[in-house]
Amino acid sequence: MPSPNEREYGGFFRARGDEDVPQTVILVPITARFMRVLSAADFAVDFNAANPTDPQFFIHSETTPATNYGYLSHDATEFIINSNAGGTRIAGGPLGVADDVSIELGTDDDSVLRHRTATLAANTALTDVLIGTPVSAATPANSLLISNVTADGDIAFFVVSAAGANSEEYIRLDASARALIINEASVDLDFRIESNGLVNAFVIDAGNDSVNFGSAGDVAVFMTVTPGARSSAPNLGVGHAVDINTSTFTDSNTAASGTATGSNYVAIAAPTIAATNTSVTHTDTATVYINAAPIAGTNMTFTTSYALWADAGITRLDGGIRINTTSANAHISEATSGTGTVTHYIGNQTINTTSDKRVKNNITPWNGSALDWVSKAPVLKEFNYNLVGGGSQTEGYGPNARGKYLGFIAQESIDWAPWAINAGAGKSCVKCINGEPCDEHALWHVEYQHLVPPLVQAVKELRAEVDYLRSR
Ligand SMILES: [Zn+2]
């Protein structure tokens, strides 16, 4: 019996090497290691083929059998499925890949998909999937791993929108830039994250070039924050719409013992507001605008509410402040451009230098003696004092650094000069009258400027008496 290799044609044989499990094999000639399936009508086709190193199994098309075929082979490294024309398609059923088996893409297996059944510890290599010394978090069992192991090779996601037949890039994992980028190609492609209760928890509106928290985009606004309804225990130190938590900023630049101009935690630069058309006027503008103090809603009563509250620390207003009006006359600063005054209040005390006749009524002549009035003044020598809370006389600053004060005591002076004593609602309170602690009323004070007119009058009366005495 001749050796199979000596036969011109191969065919079915019983393999000899595995006698305990006899197996049927198909042998192809060493001089032409092909096995082909083709239509009988094509038996005369010239395949124009060179003898391959490894046996190959071909299936030819009926239409153009010489050029349209697929084949299977193994080149000692990999099992190869190839198609001479067109691609390779699984025409029915799912294409399954077993657990922990990679789908490797690229001749050099550059990109990999693998369903891994076991957990993978952080920073742990996985052959052909995570190479080198990976920088990775721990991955739980039954995870899909997608990896591109080519240096600087990206992973990108594209789709064709309904708008046309053009592919558009949505997501890119840019290896050379070490960045995850949405919409790097810059088209009108929104990025939206939906929370449990908010459809638009976070939206980057590409068409409007806006960033939005809690709402869709608005072309006129770069960033919107729309918190929606929230509920929790009240907390004075927590912003319920926007909360900036504590953190530490470290000056890593200024030299030891050096001085820098300062530092800010939240800074807002002056914006420029321009107009498309010429000669446009805005009556009021602000870099930061607060509409109003919070509004008490259902079941709620506020004791007090503020539109702006700095709970601690000095509030510095280098440009001055303007109270309740746009008029420069209501401007408080080191150098105001106002040409008059308006009435301001601290508590119930007015700050107003206006002595205009038009702000006064019930004007009647005073026929009393200013000298008599002065003689009844509370005895000043008893009223030599330090101020409570004014610090020590030995300190270099604070009200008491000046030493002791000479002045009137409001309670002692109210009968003498009631128009100059601001006692407020405590005027009839026994505690206030006696100078005892009182939780109900504000402290009294003397408005010394109201003592000036009668003192002037007293000087006039003294002058008259001097003139009289001289004339005798
Ligand atoms: Zn009182």
Q: What is the pLDDT of residues 64-73, one digit of tens each?
A: 999 999 999 9
CA of 436 to the centre of ligand 1 (A): 8
For ligand 1, the distance from its centroid to the CA atom of residue 410, given in whole angstroms, is 13
Q: Could you tell me the distance, in angstroms and rounded to a whole number, from the CA of residue 441 to the centre of ligand 1?
A: 5
Give a yes or no: residue 318 inside a domain.
Answer: no
pLDDT of 395 reads 82
pLDDT, position 7? 55
CA 414 to ligand 1 center in whole angstroms: 15
> Ligand 1 mean position to 432 CA, how many Å?
4
- Residue 120 inside a domain? The answer is no
Q: Is residue 296 one of the residues assigned to a domain? A: no
Distance 411 CA to ligand 1 centre (A): 12
430 within domain boundaries: yes
Distance in Å, CA 422 to ligand 1 centroid: 13
More confident: 134 or 349: 134
Rounded to the nearest whole angstrom, what is the distance from the C-alpha of residue 63 to the centroid of ligand 1? 111
Predicted confidence band of residue 372 (pLDDT cuts 50, 70, 90): very high
C-alpha of residue 300 to centroid of ligand 1, in Å = 30
* pLDDT tens-digit map of 231-288: 999 888 888 899 999 999 999 999 999 999 999 999 999 999 999 999 999 999 999 9
Measure 425 CA to ligand 1 centroid, in angstroms: 8
Give the model confidence (pLDDT) of 150-163 as tens digits. 999 999 999 998 76
Average pLDDT, integer, range 356-383 = 85
Q: How many A from CA of 409 to the centre of ligand 1?
A: 16
In a domain, 464, yes or no: yes
Asked whether residue 380 carries a pLDDT value surpassing 80, the answer given is: no
CA of 447 to the centre of ligand 1 (A): 19
Reduce the secondary structure of the chain to three states and give it as a string. Answer: CCCHHHCCCCEEEECCCCCCCCCEEEECCCCCCEEEECCHHHCCCCCCCCCCCCCEEEEECCCCCCCCEEEEEECCCCEEEEECCCCCCCCCCCCCCCCCCEEEECCCCCEEEEEECCCECCCCCECCCECCCCCCCCECCCEEEEEECCCCCCEEEEEECCCCCCEEEEEEEECCCCEEEECCCCCCCCEEECCCCCCCCEEEECCCCEEEECCCCCCCCCEEECCCCCCCCCCCCCCCCCCCCCCCCCCCCCCCCCCCCCCCCCCCCCCCCCCCCCCCCCCCCCCCCCCCCCCCCCCCCCCCCCCCCCCCCCCCCCCCEECCCCCHHHEECCCCCCCCCCCEEECCEEECCCCCHHHCCCCCCCCCCHHHHHHCCCCHHHCEECCCCCCCCCCCCCHHHHCCEECCCHHHHCCCCHHHEECHHHHHCHHHHCCCCCCCCCCCEECHHHHHHHHHHHHHHHHHHHHHHHHC
Measured in angstroms, how far is the CA atom of residue 389 from the centroid of ligand 1? 20
CA 437 to centroid of ligand 1, rounded, Å: 8
Cα(439) to centroid(ligand 1), Å: 7
Q: Is residue 253 part of a domain?
A: no
Q: Is pLDDT of 5 > 60?
A: no
Q: Cα of 407 to ligand 1 centre, how many Å?
A: 22
Separation of 381 CA from ligand 1 center, angstroms?
27
Q: What is the mean pLDDT of residues 29-51?
A: 92
Q: Is residue 149 part of a domain?
A: no
Confidence class of residue 404 from pLDDT cuts 50, 70 and 90? confident
Q: Tell me how far the alpha carbon of residue 347 lies from the centroid of ligand 1, in angstroms.
A: 16
Ligand 1 centroid to Cα of residue 442, in Å, is 7
Q: 202 CA distance to ligand 1 centroid (A)?
A: 55
CA 440 / ligand 1 centre spacing (Å): 5
pLDDT at 348 > cutoff 90: no
Å from CA of 460 to ligand 1 middle: 38
Q: Can you tell me the mean pLDDT for 161-186?
A: 92
- Whole domain around residue 446: which residue ranges? 364-471
- 99 in any annotated domain: no
User: How remote is the CA of residue 378 from the centroid of ligand 1, in Å?
Assistant: 22
Residue 377 CA, ligand 1 centroid: distance in Å:
24
At 425-449, the pLDDT tens digits run 899 999 999 999 999 988 898 889 8
Q: What is the distance in A from the centroid of ligand 1 to the CA of 438?
A: 5
**The total number of structural domains that make up the chain:** 1
Give me ligand 1 centre to Cα 433, in Å: 7
